[in-house]
Every structure is written in C-alpha cells, then in structure tokens.
C-alpha cells in the first residue's frame, strides 16, 4: 500500500512539476474561467435579476467548463514522444498510475477553482460571510467525484481524433448530477440557511465520490491495457 501510494505521488509530482515549469494549461484554464465570469456579467440584466439569485449558477457553470478545460491535458501531454508507453512500461501498478494522474488532475482543478472563486466574489460583489467553509467543502466534494470520471475519460479520448471536443461530450452528463447537488447546496448557503438544509446535498456528493472513485480505479486498467 505504501509503495503504491509512493508511486502515485511520484507520477502526480511529475505532472505538477511539468505544469509549474510551462504553466500553459493552468494559465489557460484560469484565463478561460475569468472570461466565462466576464461573459456572465454581460449576459445578465442586473436590474432584473438580483446577483445573489444568479450567483450559484454562475459559479457552477464556470467551474464546470474550466474543469473540463483543465482535465483535457492529463493524457494529451503523454501522447508526445511516446511518453505514455514509457509510463505503461514503468514498474508501477495500473492503480498507482491512475491515482497519480487523478491526484495531479485534482490539484489542477482545485487550483483553477481557487483562482475562480475570489474572481467570482470580486466581479459579482458578493459577501460570502459564513457561507465560505460550506462552499469550500461543497467545491471539494463535487470536484473529487467528477475529476475521478474525467481522468478515466481523458485517458480514453487521448487516443481519439478531436480529443478536446470529445471530453466535454462524454463528461458533461456525468458532471450534471453532482452539479445539481452542488447548486442545491450553494443556494441555501448563500441565503444563510441552517446546516440541516445543506447536509442532504453534501451527503449525495460524498456518495457520488465513493462510487465513482472506486469504479474509476477498477475500470482504468481496462482503458490502458490492450
């Protein structure tokens, strides 16, 4: 167990180091998120709809699209110079390989979210107040689940033509159920409702995480082994 985890961390570390040195995908995903927020600002009529009513949708739509952009890179970078064959030949179990890629993806998406959230608060003039801890927990729980699925799918689409378009087509249906619950959690949080209104949504997100992280670990070897 210890060795598998060490291997996973080594792979995740490699991905993060690569990204921190080039900064291309992280930067583009963050800029993309900021642009989506900007588009939202002009796509609504501030006199007709109060910002706080629209805020949960804006946040989650932005997070959804920025995450897909961020996840696309995980396996497309491995296509160059047959790097992926090298990874497959390394004396590392498939589970560790998946876990490493998953942790790197998770870190990326969380970084993108960490950039998006303050921008969102700034652009829409929101006072999060006591909602912040609950919101962070919701973001974390939702992200853990859909990044697990996204990592498996990004390994599949890396072997197809037009991979960048294929990932959202496959992944968005899987992102909608957690999204529905994240929004259902965010609305009462922003309205300052008690914790009991938020718990069912969080519980659902946790259930989704357990189911899809397990399933993804189990199915990943079917994706990479011929």
Partner 1 sequence: MTPDAARARSLMTRGVVLTVLALIGQAAVMLLAIQFTPVEARQGMAQKIFYVHVPAAVIALWVAVPLTAFAGLLYLWLHDPRLDRFAAASAEVATVLCGIVLATGPIWGKPIWGTWWTWDGRLTLTLFLFFLLLGYHTLRAAIRDPGDRARFSAVLGVMGLVLVPFIHLSVYLWRGLHPQPVVLKPSAPSLPPEMLRTLLSGFAVAFLLYVGFVTLRYGIQLARDAREAAHAG
Task: Write out the residues near partner 1 by the rule CB under 8 A.
Answer: 149, 152-153, 156-157, 159-162, 166, 169-170, 172-174, 176-177, 180-181, 184, 204, 207-208, 211-212, 215, 219, 222-223, 226
Closest to partner 1 by CB, 45 vs 226, is: 226
Closest to partner 1 by CB, 49 vs 180, is: 180
Q: Report the C-alpha gap between 187 and 10 in whole angstroms.
A: 39
| Min CB(125)–partner 1 separation in Å | 30
Closest to partner 1 by CB, 99 vs 205, is: 205
Closest to partner 1 by CB, 179 vs 189, is: 179
| Min CB(184)–partner 1 separation in Å | 8
Three-state DSSP at 91 gives coil
Q: Return the closest-CA partner of residue 28 out of 101, 115, 107, 104.
A: 115
Q: Report the C-alpha gap between 124 and 119 in whole angstroms.
A: 8
Closest to partner 1 by CB, 107 vs 172, is: 172
Q: Report the C-alpha gap between 156 and 140 in whole angstroms.
A: 25
| Min CB(223)–partner 1 separation in Å | 6
| Min CB(148)–partner 1 separation in Å | 10
Closest to partner 1 by CB, 14 vs 159, is: 159
The token duo for 183 is: 């929004």
| Min CB(55)–partner 1 separation in Å | 20
Burial 114-144 (b: 16+ CB within 10 A, else e): ebbbeebbeebebebeebeebbeebbebbbb
Look-up: residue for tokens 């070897």? Answer: 221
Alpha helices in the chain (DSSP H): 2-22, 24-43, 51-71, 73-76, 83-89, 94-123, 132-157, 163-190, 199-224
| Min CB(156)–partner 1 separation in Å | 5
Q: Report the C-alpha gap between 59 and 117 in whole angstroms.
A: 8
């Amino acid at each position: 167990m210890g060795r598998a985890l060490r291997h996973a961390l080594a792979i995740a570390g490699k991905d993060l180091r690569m990204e921190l040195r080039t900064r291309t995908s992280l930067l583009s995903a963050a800029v993309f998120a900021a642009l989506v927020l900007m588009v939202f600002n002009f796509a609504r009529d501030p006199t007709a709809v109060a910002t706080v009513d629209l805020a949960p949708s804006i946040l989650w739509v932005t997070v959804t699209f920025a995450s897909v952009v961020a996840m696309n890179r995980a396996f497309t970078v491995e296509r160059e110079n047959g790097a992926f064959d090298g990874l497959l030949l390394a004396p590392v179990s498939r589970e560790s390989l998946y876990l490493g890629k998953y942790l790197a993806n998770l870190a990326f998406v969380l970084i993108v979210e960490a950039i998006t959230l303050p921008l969102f608060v700034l652009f829409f003039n929101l006072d999060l107040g006591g909602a912040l801890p609950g919101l962070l927990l919701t973001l974390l729980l939702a992200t853990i689940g859909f990044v697990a699925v996204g990592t498996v799918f990004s390994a599949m689409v890396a072997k197809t033509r037009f991979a960048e378009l294929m990932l959202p087509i496959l992944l968005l249906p899987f992102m909608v159920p957690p999204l529905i619950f994240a929004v259902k959690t965010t609305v009462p949080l922003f309205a300052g409702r008690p914790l009991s209104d938020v718990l069912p949504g969080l519980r659902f997100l946790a259930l989704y995480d357990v189911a899809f992280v397990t399933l993804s670990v189990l199915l990943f070897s079917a994706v990479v082994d011929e």
